[in-house]
Amino acid sequence: MRAAPRGLSTRELRAWLAVAACIGVILLFSGDEFSAGSTSRFLGPILRWLIPDLRADTLLVLHLWVRKAAHLSEYAVLGLLAFRALRLSLAISLPRTALLGLVVVLAVSATDELRQSFLSSRTGSIVDVAIDLVGGALGVCLIIALHRAAGIGAPSPEVPRGG
């Protein structure tokens, strides 16, 4: 006789809601409103205020770097949150949890870049998917390091060997 599947605990539900909220923010930032042309309207003046003698070509490079850093950062947060939700929800090994967390990052990133390829103000980019995966890996590594630094050990109950 099979045991009935258990529902999500409140903690697990909150963890998955955080993942969904992060994905929502990523999708919001990847729309027309946050295209390079739109962000240059507020990033340009900020960068010029910080660095008054900024040349136009240097401004374009800095603008690009800020945008790529945003990719890295938002997907680092997604990787961290996905890892945590998976770790709380599934009794699998740490490496499998990390890999599944990166699969979530890849799925969101690839879907988002595909969506951007249909927007007139955006372009889908495999380079951005790679940046997003690096960000996701940094997020996963960060949460593992934080757990170890805090002496927590495994972020979820012990998983049997081979799990």
User: How wide is the angle at C-alpha 84 spanned by C-alphas 81 and 87, nearest 5°?
Assistant: 150
Nearest to 22 by CA among 98, 84, 115, 68: 84
The token pair that represents 110 in the structure block? 């690839």
Asked whether residue 56 carries a pLDDT value surpassing 90, the answer given is no
More confident residue, 60 or 41: 60
| CA 38 from centroid of its chain's CA atoms | 22
Q: Which amino acid, 66? A: V
The token pair that represents 162 in the structure block? 């081979």
In contact, 89 and 97? CB cutoff 8 Å: no
Q: What percentage of the chain reaches a pLDDT higher than 70?
A: 80
What is the tens place of the pLDDT at every residue in 10-37?
999 999 999 999 999 998 887 656 555 5
Residue located via tokens 């998917």: 129
In contact, 15 and 81? CB cutoff 8 Å: yes
In contact, 102 and 68? CB cutoff 8 Å: no
What is the tens place of the pLDDT at every residue in 88-138?
999 888 889 999 999 999 999 999 989 888 877 777 789 989 999 999 999
User: How wide is the angle at C-alpha 112 spanned by C-alphas 25 and 76, nearest 5°?
Assistant: 55
136-162 burial code (b ≥16 CB/10 A, e <16): bbbbbeebbeebeeeeeeebbeebeee
